[in-house]
A = this chain, B = another copy of it.
Amino acid sequence: MTENLTWHKTKISKVDRSKLNGHKAACLWFTGLSGSGKSTLAVELEAELYKMGIHTYILDGDNVRHGLNRGLTFSDEDREENIRRIGEVAKLFVDAGIIVLSAFISPFKKDREQVRSLLGKNEFIEVFVNANLETCEARDPKGLYKKARKGEIKEFTGISSPYEEPENPEIIVNNGLNSDLQKNVSQIIDFLKTKEII
């Protein structure tokens, strides 16, 4: 479908959008085990950023799996396609001037690096939400680990499918036991300020 395409230059650029919004665009890519707290952190961060007048959007299982990625399974191949599409959508949001918060396990390093390669320098911010398997399994907010241990869910990350930790993430959030949500939110906001994104 890429043949016979000419490029239609839009008149409004990413720079124009950043002027309108009063901040730059970026993709905060939260990765970590199920139950590590990615979505909770993203939701809380978004609420804080909103108070600051910042334009954000969260991509997560709720709004992506039932829609754009409907029909994809948890096989390695489909997981890759799942992350590829999310990466492409994140790129569109960044192009639209938004700070997009993506909260998916995204267990495979090469898939995350592929998304990174789509975006510009400083636009892809990998946030490793670090909580060990024991902690996540003890939390088990959705009862998924229990099901996975019983064999009712196949290819469950951390149990029957690998999680590849980021080697060099922009941000590591320690989200184990006794973690402080507000402190973790502040850590990310400080990072965005330091990088002059907001």
Q: Using a CB–CB distance below 8 Å, which chain A residues touch chain B?
A: 1-2, 4-12, 16-17, 20-21, 39-40, 43-44, 46-47, 50, 53, 55-74, 78, 82, 85, 88-89, 91-93, 95-98, 118, 141-142, 144, 147, 153
State which of B1, B61, B66, B93 has its C-beta within 8 Å of the C-beta of A96: B93
Given A47-B11, A67-B91, A89-B92, A62-B5 contact (CB < 8 Å): yes
Task: Check B1 against A59 for contact (C-beta < 8 Å).
Answer: no
Task: Check A20 against B50 for contact (C-beta < 8 Å).
Answer: yes
Given A6-B142, A10-B46, A89-B74 contact (CB < 8 Å): no
Task: Check A55 against B97 for contact (C-beta < 8 Å).
Answer: yes
State which of B5, B66, B92 has its C-beta within 8 Å of the C-beta of A2: B66
A-B contact sample (18 more), CB < 8 A, given A1-B71, A8-B40, A67-B91: A1-B69, A1-B70, A2-B65, A2-B70, A4-B153, A5-B61, A5-B65, A6-B142, A7-B62, A8-B62, A11-B47, A55-B55, A57-B92, A67-B88, A85-B85, A89-B89, A89-B92, A93-B93
Task: Check A43 against B1 for contact (C-beta < 8 Å).
Answer: no
Q: How far is the CB of A19 from chain B (nearest CB, A)?
A: 10
Q: What is the bound-complex CA distance between A56 and B64, given in angstroms?
A: 21
